[in-house]
Structure 1
Amino acid sequence: MSAVDEKNLVLACLRRLFESEPASVEQASGWYQRAEFIKDVLRSVSYEIGVSHVIWHYLDDADIRIRDPRYAEAQVLAVRQSIDEWA
């Protein structure tokens, strides 16, 4: 798979994660499983495709976003902007 294909795969998966943002701790488990897939891809290609640190934090912070709506809003906005710039 080329770096462009991997980047497109990561972008598609990130967009799907946005659609399934957990609203409770019970929902976070499944969300983290999907996030782990993206992290596995990123670990293997992150230097080739230039992943923003904002995205790494997003993939680890669902529990914080559930507890803190203001943090969630700010983080989701930052990640969306990062994805738009990266795409």
Structure 2
Amino acid sequence: RTAPDGTRSLVVDLDDAPGVEGYLEVWLLKPDVSGLVSLGTLDGTSGTFALPADLDLTQFPVVDVSDEPMDGDPAHSGVSVVRGALDV
């Protein structure tokens, strides 16, 4: 969604909290998974995430929520618990 001041945000609402071993992180991905942008951690089943002003959502139209281990590695774990497409 876009605010009156032009800032954009993504709202993530899950029906249920997925069982995870670490924590949930929200990403935007390219359809071929050749690029990804971390938006932050999801606490519970709902969160609002600020989108970078220069991020082209037509290039990153896939929302991914991953189970991230507490290992200090900022990369995607490869374990997606929810994935869906934005309507851009």
Specify if TM > 0.5.
Answer: no
TM-score (norm 1): 0.26
In terms of fraction of residues, the more helix-rich structure is 1
TM-score (norm 2): 0.26
